[in-house]
Amino acid sequence: MSRGRHSEGSAGGPPRDGSLTLTAASVSYGRQAPALLDVSLTVPHGAQVAVVGPNGAGKSTLFKALVGLLPLRSGRISIHGRPPNDQEDPIAYVPQREEVDWRFPVSVRDVVAMGRYGRVRPLRRLRAADHAAVDEALAGLDLAPLADRPIAELSGGQQQRVFLARALAQEPHVLLLDEPFTGVDAAVRESVLSVLEDLRAREVTALVSTHDLRLASERFELVALLNRRLVAYGAPADVFRPDNVQAAFGGGAIMLDGMLVVDQCCEGRRRWTG
Amino acid sequence: MDWLTEPFTLPFMQRALIAAVIVGVVCAVLGCYVVLRSMAFLGDALAHAVLPGIAVAYLAGTNTLLGALVAAVLVALGISAFAQHGTIREDTAIGILFAAALALGVLLISTVRTYATDLTHILFGDLLGVGREDLFISGGLAVMVLATVVLLFKEFLLVTFDPLLAHTLGKRPGVYRTVLLLLLAVTIVISLRTVGVGLVVALLVTPAATAYLLTRRLVRMMLVSALLGVASSVIGLYVSYYLDVSSGAAVVLVATGFFLVAYIFAPRYGLVWRAGSARVNRRPTA
């Protein structure tokens, strides 16, 4: 895969601090109370961060702000030293699956190819390198046999893999995954995790929102616990302390024999079959 | 087979045929975006909103197509601005503009003495009255619209399917949406002579919706839709000629007929097929 300027020579160079930084960032929809309040955090280059918190904690809002879809009311976001709307290198954002119309008349390959559209100017067609990246992304998520299927015929897990393949085709330096484990079976979950392992090796910075606290603590080196404000941020062992969890989840959290149980029923956990 | 060729020995019928084919193709292709983005209401509103433009051109004695074109472009830009910066909901904004423009158009036309016939032609089309000048203007505009769709195919696909991705790829969805709206405005203007303000939305929506029942690939959907649009136009003209009924209405009803047949009998997505496959699926579990 081709690499952009930000990762070139990083192996022997000085450690890059903060490929992505939020400084006292607040976001609100219209005149409502802020969905995200005064959040400051720095994600080191190549780190993988689980973003957890109750429903309405601002996880999706955070991602949308990071790609410049929502303006900041105050504070600052800097990715590779630039604001979200002025990025030279691709940031791949994988929204929740409900964000698009899956009855749209396109094939799996068409959707994955859209990941390359940012590199092709209007009036131009995709080049050989683009088609190669699409094929590689399809193969990486075992989608090659489904490449010519209309997306209307896919299951929820297949849809999730198509979205992820499209993000890989972008060859991003920063990847934002919104709820990739919601409503998918164990096999899809494993394939998402193995993609994340590959990306770790390639030093792609990744933020992944999830409801699965156990997964967050076992498979990620950093956890951001969010409830409009940033309640805690750091290594899983430091973040998942009873006081932090209580602060984020309130009465929904209980400790049982040293194990954390959180009742986060039920919104956003429905299986989406289309 | 004389009955097939007989109508088109007359020059005005030849012009009607060419106009109907042009409109059939352009409406059917643009209609795919209208159907996929649920813009039927917007298309209908845009069609009615060109009425004042036609009225002003008519009163000034210039070509009504040009008047309609100016009005349609202005309204398309207005709706686009409303949608991006407005404090009221888009469908409300469209509803207000749509009714106001229609009222303004009727008001202007009512100052003319031959009010009733003129209004009928504008509202329901006058295919048999298409002149040479009209043909050249609609032909030129049609080529422009179709060429834009081909050249910006990627971009239109991206902003109709996933505006969020378009944004993160730096593709400015607002700009392409406005271009699409302008193409829609031009398409409506081209169609006015054939089916009129009142029935344009049928030519935009019906062939595209029929094609959507037959295929799940966008390019194929556009081709099938265009084929259906042309077939509806030509068959509608014959019906109009031999039964001596309104040509615009005949074209629309033929298109509706195709839709109903597809809705019931289409493979995979039709009523019959789905009923059949539901039965097959039920059997093993029962």
Token reading at B171 = 């593709």
CATH of the domain at B166: 1.10.3470.10
CA of B79: how far to CAs of A79, A224, B179, B184, B197, in Å? 35, 41, 12, 12, 18
* Chain A residues lying within 8 Å of B33, measured CB to CB: none
Q: Which of B152, B215, B221 sits opposite A122 (nearest CB)?
A: B152
Q: What is the pLDDT of residue A82?
A: 87
What is the spatial distance between Cα B128 and Cα B251, in angstroms, rounded to a whole number?
Answer: 13
Q: Do B218 and A90 touch (CB under 8 A)?
A: no
Over 50: is that where the pLDDT of A12 sits? no
Q: Which of B155, B169, B212 sits opposite A105 (nearest CB)?
A: B212
- Residue A175 confidence class, pLDDT cut points 50, 70, 90: very high
Q: Regarding predicted confidence, which is higher, B220 or A9?
A: B220
Q: Regarding predicted confidence, which is higher, A138 or A69?
A: A138
Domain limits for position B232 = 10-285
Please state, for a pLDDT cut of 70, what percent of chain B lies above it: 95
B165 reaches A (C-beta below 8 A): yes
- Residue B281 confidence class, pLDDT cut points 50, 70, 90: low
Please state, for a pLDDT cut of 70, what percent of chain A lies above it: 85
Radius of gyration of chain A (CA): 19
Question: Between the CA atoms of A188, A156, A179 and A103, what dihedral angle is there, to the nearest 10 degrees?
Answer: 140
Over 80: is that where the pLDDT of A245 sits? yes
Q: What is the pLDDT of residue B280?
A: 66
**Contacts with A248 (C-beta within 8 Å, 6 or more apart), sequence order:** A52, A53, A54, A57, A225, A226, A227, A231, A232
What is the spatial distance between Cα B234 and Cα B217, in angstroms, rounded to a whole number?
Answer: 26
Q: Which of B166, B171, B216 sits opposite A150 (nearest CB)?
A: B216
Q: What is the pLDDT of residue A265?
A: 55
Total number of residues shown for chain A: 274
What is the spatial distance between Cα B168 and Cα A67, in angstroms, rounded to a whole number?
Answer: 6
Over 50: is that where the pLDDT of A2 sits? no
* Chain A residues lying within 8 Å of B277, measured CB to CB: none
* Chain B residues lying within 8 Å of A91, measured CB to CB: 168
For chain A, domains (ranges, CATH) are 20-105+172-262 (3.40.50.300)
Q: What is the pLDDT of residue A254?
A: 63
Over 60: is that where the pLDDT of B245 sits? yes
Q: What is the pLDDT of residue A229?
A: 93
In a domain, B148, yes or no: yes
In a domain, B189, yes or no: yes
Token reading at B51 = 């009425």
- Residue B227 confidence class, pLDDT cut points 50, 70, 90: very high
Q: Regarding predicted confidence, which is higher, B31 or A272?
A: B31
Please state, for a pLDDT cut of 90, what percent of chain A lies above it: 55
Q: Which of B168, B170, B212 sits opposite A93 (nearest CB)?
A: B168
What is the spatial distance between Cα B150 and Cα B148, in angstroms, rounded to a whole number?
Answer: 5
Give tens-digit pLDDT for A159-169: 999 999 999 99
B170 reaches A (C-beta below 8 A): yes
Encoded amino acid at A197, one letter:
E
CB A34 within 8 A of CB A226: no
Phi, psi dihedrals of residue A229, rounded to the nearest 5°: -90, 165
Range name among A63-77, A223-237, B47-61, B269-283 with the lowest pLDDT average: B269-283
CB A97 within 8 A of CB A272: yes
Number of helical H runs and strand E runs in chain B: 14, 0
CB B234 within 8 A of CB B20: yes
Nearest to B191, CA basis, from B104, B123, B241: B123
Q: What is the pLDDT of residue A271?
A: 42
B118 reaches A (C-beta below 8 A): no
Over 50: is that where the pLDDT of A3 sits? no
CB B101 within 8 A of CB B75: yes
Over 50: is that where the pLDDT of A274 sits? no
Q: What is the mean pLDDT of residues A202-210?
A: 94
Q: Regarding predicted confidence, which is higher, A103 or A30?
A: A103
* Chain B residues lying within 8 Å of A170, measured CB to CB: 169
Q: What is the mean pLDDT of residues B43-47?
A: 85
In a domain, B279, yes or no: yes
Over 50: is that where the pLDDT of A15 sits? no
Q: What is the mean pLDDT of residues B102-112?
A: 86
Token reading at A186 = 């164990």
Tell me the average pLDDT of chain B: 87
Give A209's strand partners. Answer: A51, A178
* Beta-carbon-side half-sphere exposure of residue A35 (alpha carbons within 13 Å): 18
Token reading at A266 = 């039920």
Q: Regarding predicted confidence, which is higher, B48 or B242?
A: B242
In a domain, B171, yes or no: yes
Range name among A112-116, A174-178, B86-90, B164-168 with the lowest pLDDT average: B86-90
Over 60: is that where the pLDDT of A270 sits? no
- Residue A17 confidence class, pLDDT cut points 50, 70, 90: low
Where do we find the tokens 């164990």? A186
DSSP three-state, residue B28: helix
* Beta-carbon-side half-sphere exposure of residue B193 (alpha carbons within 13 Å): 31
What is the spatial distance between Cα B110 and Cα A101, in angstroms, rounded to a whole number?
Answer: 45
- Residue A181's CB: how many other CB atoms inside 10 A? 19
Q: What is the mean pLDDT of residues A28-48?
A: 89
What is the spatial distance between Cα B42 and Cα B89, in angstroms, rounded to a whole number?
Answer: 13
What is the spatial distance between Cα B256 and Cα B260, in angstroms, rounded to a whole number?
Answer: 6
In a domain, B5, yes or no: no
Among left, alpha and beta (phi > 0; psi -120 to 50; other), residue A68 is left
Q: What is the mean pLDDT of residues A85-111?
A: 89
Chain B residues 218-257 within an 8 A CB cutoff of chain A: 218, 220-221
Give A20's strand partners. Answer: A43, A79
Q: What is the pLDDT of residue B55?
A: 85
Q: Tell me what percent of chain B is helix, strand and coil, each rounded to the nearest 5.
A: 85, 0, 15
In a domain, B4, yes or no: no
Give tens-digit pLDDT for B120-140: 887 888 888 888 888 998 999
* Chain A residues lying within 8 Å of B157, measured CB to CB: 106, 110, 114
What is the spatial distance between Cα A197 and Cα A208, in angstroms, rounded to a whole number?
Answer: 13
- Residue B250 confidence class, pLDDT cut points 50, 70, 90: very high
Over 80: is that where the pLDDT of A35 sits? yes
Question: Where is A38: in which H helix or E strand?
Answer: strand A36-43
Over 90: is that where the pLDDT of B274 sits? no
Q: What is the pLDDT of residue A264?
A: 58
Give tens-digit pLDDT for B156-183: 999 999 988 998 898 888 899 889 989 9
- Residue B197 confidence class, pLDDT cut points 50, 70, 90: confident
In a domain, B117, yes or no: yes
Question: Where is A42: in which H helix or E strand?
Answer: strand A36-43
- Residue A258 confidence class, pLDDT cut points 50, 70, 90: low
Question: Where is A87: in which H helix or E strand?
Answer: none
CB B32 within 8 A of CB B208: yes
In a domain, B184, yes or no: yes
Closest residue, chain A, to B209 (C-alpha): A105
Q: Regarding predicted confidence, which is higher, A148 or A241?
A: A148
A174-178 vs A229-234, strand pairing mode: unpaired
- Residue B50 confidence class, pLDDT cut points 50, 70, 90: confident
Q: Do B154 and A117 touch (CB under 8 A)?
A: yes
- Count structural domains, chain B: 1
Q: Do A105 and B215 touch (CB under 8 A)?
A: yes
Q: How far is A249 from chain B (nearest CA, A)?
A: 30
Q: Regarding predicted confidence, which is higher, A262 or A274?
A: A262
